[in-house]
Amino acid sequence: MRGLLTGIGIGAAIVLVAVLGALRWLDLRVQAVLSRRYDVPLVDVAVPTDSAALAEGERFAWLHGCHGCHDAQLQGKVFLDEPRVMRVVAPNVTAAIVPYTDAELARLIRHGVRRDGTGVLAMPAGTFYDISDAELGAIIAHLRRAPAVASRWPPSELRLLARLAVARGELLPDAATIDHRAPRLGDRPDSSTAWRGEYLARTICGECHGPTLHGQLEAPPLVRAMGYTAAEFTSLLLDGRSRDGRDLPLMGRTARARFVRLTKGEIAAIRDYLMRMPTTPPAPGAGR
C-alpha cells in the first residue's frame, strides 16, 4: 500500500510539474506575440481645424465605430467580458491619446501600432487601413477636440482560452495581419459612385462582415443585400430591420447609433457596390 501511495504521489508531482511547465510556456509564448514590435514608419497627416471639418470628423468617428467601442463621450468602457476567455476594455480616448503625436495616432488607427511599436490586440485597424488621409485627419481633429472625461476601468485581461488562441496564432493583433505596404483604397484618385460605395463598405462594414465582406463569425455575407430593394436596404442601414421587418439585434444597435449618420447618397453608393460584389470571396492572397 505504501508503495502504491508513493507511486500516486510521484505521478501527481509529475503531472503538476508538467502543468506548471505548460503554463509557463504559454505565458512566454503569449508575451512573445504581444511584445513583438512592428516597423511601420510614421507618416504625417494634415489635421484640419475648421468647423466643417470637425463636424465631418465627428460623423466619421461615429461611422467607423470610435464611439461604439469607446462609448459616446469616448470615455472608454468594458467592451467584452467573457469568463475563461477575455476581458476587453476600450480605453478612455480623451486621456490615452494625449501623449501621441498626430502621426503616431494616425499609425495607431490605420496600422494598430502603439507608440512603442507593439500591436493593439482588440482594435480593428485592418478595417481602418484604407481610410483616406482627409477622413483620418478629420477623425483625429475630432478626437483631439473631445472634452476630457474622467473614468476608471479595470485592465483588459486575457484568460486561458484567449491565451491559447494567441499561442496558436488564432488571435493576433491586426498589426500582425495587415500588409502595411499595400496600396490604400482611400488613396485612389477617384470620386465615382462605384469607388465611394466600395470605400464605405470596406471601411465601415468590414469590421463585422470581414475584409472581403463575405461574412465572419455571426455576421452574414453582404451578398445578401442583393435581395433587398433600395427602400429595404435603407431601412436595414438606418434602423437595422431585415426585409421582413425583424429587428436584427446587433445590426439594429449599430444602425441606430452609427449608420443613421450616412447620407442617402452614401447608402445608395454602398448598395450599388454590394449589388455588383462577387458572390464568392477572392482566393487567399488575391489583390484588392
Which residue, 117, 151, 186, sits at the end of a domain? Answer: 186
| Stretches in the chain below the pLDDT threshold 70 | 1-13, 15-17, 19-20, 283-288
* Residues 180 and 202 placed together within one structural domain of the fold: no
* Residues 108 and 225 placed together within one structural domain of the fold: no
CATH number of the domain residue 267 falls in: 1.10.760.10
Q: Is residue 14 part of a domain?
A: no
- What's the domain count of the chain? 2
pLDDT at 222: 87
CA distance 234 to 214: 20
How many Cβ atoms are within 10 Å of 122's Cβ, its own excluded? 18
Which residue, 186, 219, 237, sits at the end of a domain? Answer: 186
Q: Is residue 19 part of a domain?
A: no
Phi–psi pair at 147, nearest 5 degrees: -60, 140
* Residues 275 and 216 placed together within one structural domain of the fold: yes
CA distance 275 to 58: 29
Classify 141 in phi/psi space as left (phi over 0), alpha (psi -120 to 50) or beta.
Answer: alpha
* Residues 227 and 269 placed together within one structural domain of the fold: yes
pLDDT at 220: 86
List, for residues 133-181, the tens digit of each pLDDT value.
999 999 999 999 999 999 999 999 999 999 999 999 999 999 999 999 9
* Residues 38 and 181 placed together within one structural domain of the fold: yes
* Residues 136 and 245 placed together within one structural domain of the fold: no
CATH number of the domain residue 60 falls in: 1.10.760
* Residues 181 and 194 placed together within one structural domain of the fold: no
Q: What is the span of the domain harbouring residue 237?
A: 190-282
* Residues 194 and 114 placed together within one structural domain of the fold: no
User: The whole model's pTM is what?
Assistant: 0.88
pLDDT at 224: 80
Residue of 252, 259, 276, 115 lying closest to 195 (CA atoms): 276
Instruction: Specify the pairing of strand 86-90 against strand 157-158.
Output: antiparallel
* Residues 202 and 155 placed together within one structural domain of the fold: no
* Residues 41 and 178 placed together within one structural domain of the fold: yes
CA distance 52 to 57: 9
Element (H, E) at 105: helix 102-111
* Residues 77 and 116 placed together within one structural domain of the fold: yes
pLDDT at 84: 94
Identify whether the C-beta of residue 233 lies closer than 8 Å to the C-beta of residue 271: yes
Residue 86 grid cell: 477575455
Q: Is residue 26 part of a domain?
A: no
DSSP 120: P
pLDDT at 19: 64
* Residues 69 and 179 placed together within one structural domain of the fold: yes
